[in-house]
Amino acid sequence: MALIDDYRKAGQNIYDRLHLSSYPVAIKYIRDTGEIPDGFLRPTSLGQKASLCQAFTYARRLGLSIAMTADDNFCTPATVMHRWVDIPFDVLMESQLHQKWHRNAEAEKKRLEHGKNMIGEANLLELSQYAGFLCCPLSDARFEPDTVLIFGNGENITHIIHALTYDGENFPTSSFEGFAESCLKGGLIPFITGVPQVVIPGMGDRAFSGIYDYEIAIGVPGKLVFDVSKNLFLTGGQLNIGQPVKTLIPQSLTENITPGFKFMQEKIDEYKNKTLT
């Protein structure tokens, strides 16, 4: 059985070897506020609210330990989708119609069904037992994470996918809609389904949480973080692209590659010949 210290070491190893610009985030879903450890900050304790994606940013960029519940979260659709409150999905759909995200009610209904299908109908009932989550840098975790959320550039995420699938399993299965990316696909869905999810930051991520334009992410079920740590850079053996990525540099190029280069070389030769004569 993995110890919490093993998770911390894996988080530090991934952070160091991939040269990540922010910490991998450990996420644990809680059933009530009594599970919040000392030292975890709740936005409501400061008289404020935050979004779930902002909590991840506080953890991965500032190294903070954050606890989020329905009372702490101003992104109310995410609260309902996580089932932290017992609100019918029809009411959630009505709230989204006010946002005008999609063409009409039928389109919004299809989008909601798509989200429910990603979670899985059987899993929706299970979600009602949870009331929030904890998040902090994995390298500083005080709990066994349900999900590890890792942000990086495309090269970083490619390495993580290679490590996850090195044994021919744990293939990420992702579907994209541009909303609820980090909170649902980066956190909840890997936990509830056991399947890694690639994250392309969505509307909330970009509006609220300070996502850099080059960043994408991957949500990994907690126990699979050891596969990531253990298998980094094994794909292809000596042919592994490495970090920094080893790109092929074009060879056998001449001045003829562009008209300007060719013209300049002809002039160089012309002036050289004049000097010789």
User: What pLDDT was estimated at residue 277?
Assistant: 65
Q: Is 256 helix (H, G, I), strand (E, B) or coil?
A: helix
What tokens does 90 get?
């029809």
Instruction: Round to whole Å and give the CA distance between 190 and 19.
Output: 24
User: What pLDDT was estimated at residue 8?
Assistant: 98
Residue ranges of the domains in the chain?
4-239, 250-277
* Backbone conformation region of residue 124, classed left if phi is above 0, alpha if psi is from -120 to 50, else beta: alpha
pLDDT digits 0-9 by tens, 236-273: 998 898 888 888 888 999 999 999 999 999 999 999 98
Helices (H), the chain: 4-17, 52-62, 76-81, 89-99, 105-119, 121-127, 154-164, 189-193, 203-208, 225-231, 259-276
What averages of pLDDT result for each successive group of 10 residues across the chain (277 residues)? 91 98 99 97 97 98 98 96 93 85 88 87 91 98 98 98 97 89 96 97 94 97 98 93 86 94 95 81
Q: Is 52 helix (H, G, I), strand (E, B) or coil?
A: helix
User: What pLDDT was estimated at residue 44?
Assistant: 98
pTM over 0.85: yes
CB atoms under 10 Å from CB of 267, counted, come to: 10
Instruction: Round to whole Å and give the CA distance between 119 and 85.
Output: 17
Instruction: Round to whole Å and give the CA distance between 68 and 138.
Output: 17
Instruction: Round to whole Å and give the CA distance between 211 and 50.
Output: 15
Instruction: Round to whole Å and give the CA distance between 122 and 67.
Output: 26
pLDDT digits 0-9 by tens, 59-100: 999 999 999 999 999 999 999 999 999 999 898 888 888 888
User: What pLDDT was estimated at residue 1?
Assistant: 64
